[in-house]
Amino acid sequence: MKPASWQRLRQITQVLALGLFIFLFIQSAYLGQSSLLSGVFYRLDPLVAVTAMLAGRLIIPALVLAIGTVIFTLVFGRIWCGWFCPLGTILEWTSLHKKKIAVRKSEPSSFWRKIKFLLLLVILVLAVLGNQTLLFLDPNTILTRTLAAAIWPELRYGTFSLENFLYQFKFLWPVLDAIHAGLIVPLFHNIQSVFIAALPIFIFFLGLIALNWSAERFWCCYLCPLGGLLGWLSRYSLLRREVHQPCKQCGLCNAQCPTGTIDPENGFRSDPAECVVCTNCVKSCNQGDVAFHWQLPHWKPVVKQSYDPSRREALVTMATAITGAALAGIEPIARRSPEHLIRPPGATLTDFESLCVRCGECVRVCPTQGLQPSLLEGGWQNIMTPHLVARLGYCVYNCTACIQSCPSGAIPKITLDEKHAAPMGLASINRDRCLPWAFNTSCVVCEEMCPMPDKAVVLVQGKGQGQGLGQTGNAELLKPHVIREKCIGCGVCEFHCPVGGEAAIQVYSLPGNKPPLSGI
């Protein structure tokens, strides 16, 4: 194949991979019975696989597929980053200053490339200590989370707003109805969502794009921990870029390199750990002096680079990671669960916080969008883990969407019966706010909404007399009570409670099942 064909093939692969990612994202919606295909990218992600298994201390069969990516990388180099990674593709497309030689000078020093290796080291050490806090920096989790909790809801809001506006004009209705039924319902399923963490998640994503001003694919070159892992593996790859003599030192390849790893001071050679196998350099070379070659049978690992972390740096970093893990251990959550930290169904059956890779797939599929990425609700260490905000959306009684979609098994693959037997929390009535209790006003919404076949909210004849609001004459008021043994904490009562602001019935965390300061 000609160099240009390789380039074209790479671009097509990138489009297909990003397209597949977005397609899987869109189709992973809860429709009652459909099986969910989402999570394919997580199964191929070796960083997620390694940390989830280390932190969770078990073999997760669903994630074993990531070995494929490792083998691919050992053969072809950092091809994941250059050809497949959806976030990498977006960052490549949003890099404004391609093909300008002068820009290279404004890039940060190569010295900073070590950050991604050190970040990887921190993540691995933390994983050994049972902590996956920093997995929110995995590129796949970043993209899923940003799409799920910011970009997709924004698109949906914008679409619905425009639709609302246009529906004021009655003559447009036939056209709008056709668009609504044919396009908008299949895409958005009429789910309207709000997200507490939308703004920080979106700003973080914009920040990654903004870094492209400093250097093309800045995130991929300097920060990405998955890039660090794959780059480190690429040092041993079988296919590597080579420069043949006589090279004319024209610098064209350097100008085309998206990761800036081609070093004019070193005969325009490059570091396989940084090279994403985009083949731009092969195309740019007029002489045909640049090519990718198999290293067999004379294979040997690549020489070290000046920006590789030194032993001392590595040791300091590991010590820092251990300090961080210790810090996590003295957060309040280590002693008591926050009152409203309701985890997804079944999460009480696993070591949820150690297994959760912060990907946001459950947030995406939750049909009520009550599952939200945390900010600090679960402490700093649990940032971006999912929790149920029942006032914004409840857990649907017969829904297993999050159970099906969780790639790491943090939400275990339980059956519906097991889900109904595993409470997420416990509802509790605030008698100072509840309409019948506090205001002698009849209201039984919580009892009505309770999905348990044998209701967990029961109505007991109260002593107060009905004053208005539909209560006629001297009928006695019915007052709700929660039966603790029956409540599974789904939060539908809290969601529908008609009092303003904070609900008069709320779901509270279950007593923690971890002993305090359990340690490593």
- Would you tell me which residues interact with another protein (CB under 8 A)? 30-33, 157-158, 160-167, 176-177, 180-181, 185, 189-192, 367, 396-399, 441-445, 447-455, 459, 467-470, 472, 478, 492, 496-498, 500
Query: Between helices 198-210 and 139-146, what is the axis angle to 10°?
Result: 130
Q: Which C-beta is closer to another protein: that of 285 or that of 401?
A: 401
Nearest alpha carbon to residue 7 among 270, 359, 206, 285: 285
Residue 198: CB minimum distance to another protein, A: 16
Q: Which C-beta is closer to another protein: that of 142 or that of 148?
A: 148
Residue 115: CB minimum distance to another protein, A: 26
Q: Which C-beta is closer to another protein: that of 16 or that of 181?
A: 181
Residue 403: CB minimum distance to another protein, A: 15
Q: Which C-beta is closer to another protein: that of 32 or that of 61?
A: 32
The two three-digit tokens of residue 82, written as one number: 């250059």
Q: Are 479 and 436 in contact (CB under 8 A)?
A: yes
What DSSP element (H or E) covers 128?
helix 114-128
Residue 397: CB minimum distance to another protein, A: 5
The helix/strand/coil state of 7 is: helix
- Strands 290-294 and 457-465, bridge-based pairing: unpaired
Residues in the chain: 520
Q: Which C-beta is closer to another protein: that of 3 or that of 451?
A: 451
Q: Which C-beta is closer to another protein: that of 176 or that of 247?
A: 176
Nearest alpha carbon to residue 408 among 22, 115, 50: 50
Measure the CA–CA gap between 255 and 284, rounded to whole angstroms: 9
Residue 346: CB minimum distance to another protein, A: 18
Q: Which C-beta is closer to another protein: that of 288 or that of 470?
A: 470
Place of tokens 């083998």: 71
Amino acid in position 398: N
Q: Which C-beta is closer to another protein: that of 41 or that of 394?
A: 394
Measure the CA–CA gap between 166 and 175, rounded to whole angstroms: 10
The two three-digit tokens of residue 411, written as one number: 């939400």
Phi then psi dihedrals of residue 243, to 5 deg: -115, 125
Q: Are 387 and 335 in contact (CB under 8 A)?
A: no
Q: Which C-beta is closer to another protein: that of 243 or that of 499?
A: 499
Q: What end-to-end distance do the CA atoms of the chain give, in Å?
A: 54
Residue 179: CB minimum distance to another protein, A: 10
Strands annotated E in 398-502: 426-429, 457-465, 476-482
Q: Which C-beta is closer to another protein: that of 44 or that of 362?
A: 362
The helix/strand/coil state of 158 is: helix
To 10 degrees, the CA torsion angle through 317, 319, 321, 326? Answer: -160
The helix/strand/coil state of 351 is: coil
Residue 405: CB minimum distance to another protein, A: 15
Measure the CA–CA gap between 455 and 463, rounded to whole angstroms: 22
Q: Which C-beta is closer to another protein: that of 30 or that of 76?
A: 30
Nearest alpha carbon to residue 434 among 389, 403, 395, 477: 477
Residue 155: CB minimum distance to another protein, A: 13
Residue 146: CB minimum distance to another protein, A: 21
Residue 182: CB minimum distance to another protein, A: 12
Measure the CA–CA gap between 453 and 421, rounded to whole angstroms: 13
Contacts of 514 (CB under 8 A, 6+ apart): none
Residue 106: CB minimum distance to another protein, A: 10
The helix/strand/coil state of 180 is: helix
Residue 158: CB minimum distance to another protein, A: 8
Q: Cβ atoms within 10 A of the Cβ of 269, count? A: 18
Q: Which C-beta is closer to another protein: that of 105 or that of 311?
A: 105
Amino acid in position 172: L
Phi then psi dihedrals of residue 254, to 5 deg: -60, -40
